[in-house]
Structure 1
Amino acid sequence: MKNTHELYTRFKEEFPEVNSKYEELGRLIHEDCGPVGKKERWLIKIAISASSSHMRALETHIRKATDAGASQEEIKQTLLLLIPTVGFPTFMEAYSVYKQVFKN
């Protein structure tokens, strides 16, 4: 798998204005567009990235959710909710990222 974190770093260097606007949009949506709390937003982002098979993003979203106060149990339940909607294989792929992040 290509290291998208490294690729994103290069993107930021090559397109600083585009990146600035992208980050501004992210902040606007996360912080100013509704009542959903920070922890819940990151749990939602976990579900979105996992169901879309964006595993690098999933790793980042798991860490951000943890920083926002989500417990490992809340993150696991969020991942388990994938099974009836997007299937067991997608869950297992996401669960492997979860296990890697928490090294358990």
Structure 2
Amino acid sequence: MSKNLPGAAGDLAEKYPSVWSAYSDLGEATANAGGLTDRERRLVKLALSIGAASEGAVHSHARRGLAEGIPYEDLQQVALLAIGPLGFPRGVAAGTWISDVEDTD
């Protein structure tokens, strides 16, 4: 699985496979802990990444969202929704981070 991970995450997975395995298991357990759909989970994770101001995580969740068939416009709406609670600069930054991924696909 680590061969599919870019950059530092892939490096960590290669160097510490047991840590990566535990992290993956936690992700699977939390995903299955409720009734959200795959789409809803992806959009929530994108929103949380925006809130945390994690450019890498926004790129990752936007890229995966596009691969899962979520329209680019829906991903951008998440960035727009961030403007209210997080402020205009954070929402605009998130929109540009999402655009980075759309422009490369």
* TM superposition score normalised by structure 1: 0.87
In structure 1, C-alpha distance between the alignment counterparts of 2:57 and 2:27, rounded to whole Å: 14
CA offsets per residue over residues 25-82 of structure 1, 9 Å max, x none?
Answer: 101111x111100011101111100111111111110122223331122111111110
**Where does structure 1 lack aligned partners over 5 or more consecutive residues?**
none
- Point out which structure has higher relative CO (alpha carbons under 8 A, 6+ apart): 1
**Where does structure 2 lack aligned partners over 5 or more consecutive residues?**
1-5
The 5 Å alignment of 1:1-104 reads 5-30=6-31, 32-103=32-103
Code of the aligned partner of 1:17: S
* TM superposition score normalised by structure 2: 0.86
- Equivalent pairs counted in the alignment come to 100
CA offsets per residue over residues 4-42 of structure 1, 9 Å max, x none?
Answer: x42112211221111101001101111x11110001110
Q: Percent identity?
A: 28
